[in-house]
Structure 1
Amino acid sequence: MFKEMRRHKQLLNAEETAAVLERGTSGVLALSGEDGYPYAVPLSYVFDGEKLYFHSAKAGHKLEALRRCPKASFCVIDQDQIVPEEYTTYFRSVIAFGTIRELEDEVEKRAAIEKLARKYTPNDTPEGMDAAIRRDWAPLCMLEMTIDHMTGKEAIELVKAKEAK
């Protein structure tokens, strides 16, 4: 179902791929939009080692698209160093394919927003995090992406640099 990457030598292993998702602070969620147009939206996220979580408003283009078709892809760029003299970039990125669902259960929703909060405000106190979550709870929608397939890729120059070590 998912195509193999042509440039196998540039493929990141599972640990490197997960590390990119853990380091990243934003990515682009791609959905099937209205009238056959793709809809891609930049988002903050958290990866818990298995699934991706996003926060959202309870209405809007993103949720409408997900309700029509819950299949999605999510791309994170870890590095994109422009090297003008070589007419290239030294890049590293990950793309995940999966299915997204809206978390309806209050316990699941709370666990997901806590993961997101810990990622982006790691130094906050438990009381501060709880107050922020309670303040924004009513309009909050949490989304969970179950990953069906994921690949990471890096520039051949980065592969060669690792091999030289």
Structure 2
Amino acid sequence: MSHPTPDSTLGSTARTRIRRLPDHAVRERTALHAVLDAGLVGHLAITGEDGQPFVLPVAYARDGERVLIHGSTGSRLFRGLAAGAPTCLTVTLLDGLVLARSAFESSMHYRSAMVLGSCVVLPEDEKAAALDLLTDRLLPGRRDELRPHRVKELAATLVLALSLDEASVKISAGPPDDDDEDLDAPIWAGVVPIGEHFGEPVPAPDLRFDLPAPDYLRKWRR
């Protein structure tokens, strides 16, 4: 079995080597960081005690060469991850639809990352800082005005770290790649970009003060 290291080339292990469309594989570790930093939600796989596979949508934050996730101490699946069950984290960013002159050649523009390994539980003295990092990642500018974590909240939360040692990245971009015999067909071909944006903030119905939306919300970009 391969033994990856934090500075190993992406896709360099037998489990992460990209065999389908290998020209879409990206080897630079900075590309992995970029995909993870651009996403907000990942999907984490685990097999239950009865052999049933599950895929959990999770908010995450990259912390150097690891990804931090959090969940309830009452979650059976999170307890399985905390016990060291093998897992796979995937993050996919959809950037566009590629309309070719045939359904077979039509595709998508995407950036995707896959990370394999097992999670480790962060010790209690690191938990609050990790949750602060998650808040900064998902809600930049907000942490400074929030109250501190309560003891019971920390006790009810598991914070797990997944190393980025074993990972791969695929990126698909460019125009349609039609067969030569299809180029004369009177069919429009091209790319339809897909983007994300933050909408206008909506105040909570139980807001007790006449407060404007914080200025930092205007800085959020997708």
Of the three residues 18, 42, 54, the one matched with 1:5 is 18
Residue 131 of structure 2 corresponds to: 113
Percent identity for Structure 1 against Structure 2: 26
Rg larger in structure: 2
Change (3 A) 1:28 1:102: same
Inter-partner Cα distance in structure 2 for 1:120 and 1:155: 26
Structure 2 unmatched ranges of 5 or more: 2-12, 178-222
TM-score, normalised to structure 2's length? 0.62
Residue 149 of structure 2 corresponds to: 133
- Higher mean C-alpha displacement, 74-83 vs 64-73: 64-73
Q: Which has the higher helix share?
A: 1
Residue 50 of structure 2 corresponds to: 35
Q: Per-residue displacement from partner, 1:33-66 (whole Å, max 9, x unpaired)?
A: 2322211110000011211111100112322432
Aligned residues: 156
Inter-partner Cα distance in structure 2 for 1:39 and 1:79: 23
Quick one: higher RCO (CA 8 Å, sep 6+), 1 or 2?
1
Poorly superposed stretches of 4+, deviation over 6 Å:
none
For 2:109, the aligned partner's letter is Y
TM-score, normalised to structure 1's length? 0.82
* RMSD of aligned Cα (Å): 2.3
Are 1:149 and 2:166 counterparts?
A: yes
Q: Per-residue displacement from partner, 1:129-165 (whole Å, max 9, x unpaired)?
A: 4x1533733322211112330110012538x9xxxxx
Matched residue SS, 1:157: coil
Q: Per-residue displacement from partner, 1:60-114 (whole Å, max 9, x unpaired)?
A: 23224325642211000022522344521112100011210222x2221122111
Residue 93 of structure 2 corresponds to: 78
Q: Which has the higher strand share?
A: 1
